[in-house]
Amino acid sequence: EPEVTQTPSHQVTQMGQEVILRCVPISNHLYFYWYRQILGQKVEFLVSFYNNEISEKSEIFDDQFSVERPDGSNFTLKIRSTKLEDSAMYFCASSISGGFYEQYFGPGTRLTVT
């Protein structure tokens, strides 16, 4: 069964450093998403991406964040200058369409900022 994959599974970085989290969505999916889950808290939406542009973003997704689909398979989340509060599990998801269609989640990347 097709699945969303994410690399790395765990990333440790120092405050102020740039990190890139990588995702490979399911191949025929058209909508891509990033969510995060701070330890002990709920899953929060960051951004959705469709047709090579951001279709929606949350208040969390400020200028420090960016997303890119550099080729036909990868979908990346970049954090330019990490803060301690960026420590979280980051989930990538994809769906074949929007609305009622299932979003398939990857296993997540645990980001630890020291």
Closest approach, Cβ 109 to another protein, in A, equals: 11
In the complex with another protein, the residue whose CB is nearer, 14 or 42, is 42
Q: Does 75 bind another protein (CB under 8 A)?
A: no
- For residue 67, CA distances in Å to 23, 34, 47, 56, 100 come to 11, 9, 8, 12, 24
Q: Does 57 bind another protein (CB under 8 A)?
A: yes
| Candidate segments 11-19, 21-29, 36-44, 65-73, binder of another protein by CB under 8 A | 36-44
- For residue 3, CA distances in Å to 21, 65, 81, 103 come to 17, 25, 30, 11
| Candidate segments 12-20, 22-30, 71-79, 105-113, binder of another protein by CB under 8 A | 105-113
In the complex with another protein, the residue whose CB is nearer, 12 or 15, is 12
Give dist(CA 39, CA 75) in Å, integer.
Answer: 24
Using CB under 8 A, count the residues that bind another protein: 30
Q: Does 95 bind another protein (CB under 8 A)?
A: yes
Strand order in the sheet with 19-24: 5-7, 19-24, 75-79, 65-68
Tell me which DSSP letter residue 16 carries: T
